[in-house]
Structure 1
């Protein structure tokens, strides 16, 4: 690694399964650290499912100590109830790194795909293949983990953009 090493956690929020992936970046190279997913029990009440997501991600953040977090923005689908529940799960995915004071960036699904595959409408298998190419040591068991790693890669590629630098400067000034 050549520059300042930044550890990034990518989070792919979901109510049943929230994927996470951790990478190190020096601005030039990426190194796979770990990936996995946090699950919630579909039999539990919504509040307890959300708590499971928050506690699971908090534990991952405590274990791997990332410097920054990147989270996929929610897309709206035809089922308003499902979209609302996904939004609540996403809220827990935003809260866990915020409680630890991490810088948090949000990316649209199309930007994540374009950053990793080169096309904004890439299929899951294309994303997984590129993750394998970009992070040869990566071992993931689900599409959620691969998506989370793609989100982390997207952030590694975009974190130094003028918009990202301006947002960080505003956040630092507010502290």
Structure 2
């Protein structure tokens, strides 16, 4: 995958998440693809899907054999290549360094700031929840603290170098009310 294409996609995530305004649910313009939901990943934090194919980026808690978080690299980011029978594949160099790689900074015990290498201005936060004692990734959108489950980019047309991103959809749970949240931001 071309680095400029990846950068454009992640730029769309940053622009829309970083400047999101409250929007009502919008079910228009769905993708013609049927995306699988990743299953059986015990330490999955969230996943990212986008047109034009069903391959999925997984962001998983990186733990050792004893279950301790790797403090230097708390998140492992990789592909589930559903178009290749669900094969797991590591990010290549360009993807890791310019697009989907995640930089982390430890802020405290069991608390990390995460930033995609391509969009350092929009932080995510990895933190152990006092409620269920599990790690979750949080993002602040529209004055809500959301436990992130999925990011989806709807791409319709454009070119390899300049895709036409119609919207970014964030799916998760409101950390305060526990209500399901879907924020769709038109680009």
Same fold per superposition (TM over 0.5): no
Point out the structure with the larger helix share: 1
Provide the TM-score with structure 1 as the length reference.
0.28
Point out the structure with the larger strand share: 2
Structure with more relative contact order (C-alpha pairs < 8 Å, separation 6 or more): 1
